């Protein structure tokens, strides 16, 4: 089966949006997330939930940037959970952003949120 399907991606985005709106957000690597917030020029302590709400309301399943099937996390807190990366144009940040998250029950786990970077040449 070709996963994630469009329906599955739409469902994940709805669940992610609900978790964020309900304030159930955890950050995998707070130090790196703070560095990326500085780069994007927002206050992670004051604005993260608002930023995530805004981005999730703008994302469509067509902006999925992950593998098929989705990769699984190796981070201890969410080990084995599927991860969902998206790349979208953000009017707020006036650039393309990369947002990667996982869902665990009703919790949104922020793995990465930063300016989209072109792939590295090897």
Domains and CATH numbers, the chain: 6-115 (3.30.2310.40)
Number of Cβ within a 10 Å radius of residue 94 = 8
Distance CA(19)–CA(78), nearest Å, equals 16
Residues 17, 6: Cα–Cα separation, whole Å: 17
Taking all residues of the chain, what is their mean pLDDT, rounded to a whole number? 95
Average of per-residue pLDDT across 30-43: 97
Match 């707070």 to its residue by tokens. 30
Distances (CA, A) of 122 to 66, 98, 119: 20, 21, 9
Q: What pTM value is reported for the model? A: 0.94
Q: Over 90: is that where the pLDDT of 2 sits? A: no
Task: Collect all residues with Cβ–Cβ distance below 8 Å to 23 and sequence separation of at least 6.
Answer: 49
Task: Evaluate if residue 122 carries a pLDDT over 90.
Answer: no
Instruction: Tell me what percent of the residues of the chain surpass a pLDDT of 70.
Output: 97
Q: Is the pLDDT of residue 26 over 70?
A: yes
Residue 118 banded pLDDT, cuts 50, 70, 90:
confident
């Amino acid at each position: 089966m070709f996963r994630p399907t469009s329906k599955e991606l739409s469902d994940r985005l709805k669940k992610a949006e609900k978790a964020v709106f309900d304030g159930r957000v955890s950050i995998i690597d707070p130090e790196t997330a703070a560095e990326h917030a500085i780069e994007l020029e927002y206050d992670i302590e004051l604005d993260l939930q608002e930023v995530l709400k805004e981005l999730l309301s703008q994302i469509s399943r067509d902006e999925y940037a992950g593998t098929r099937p989705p990769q699984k996390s190796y981070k201890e807190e969410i080990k084995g959970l599927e991860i969902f990366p998206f790349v979208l144009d953000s009017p707020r940040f006036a650039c393309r952003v990369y947002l990667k998250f996982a869902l665990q029950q009703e919790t949104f786990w922020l793995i990465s949120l930063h300016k989209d970077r072109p792939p590295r040449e090897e």
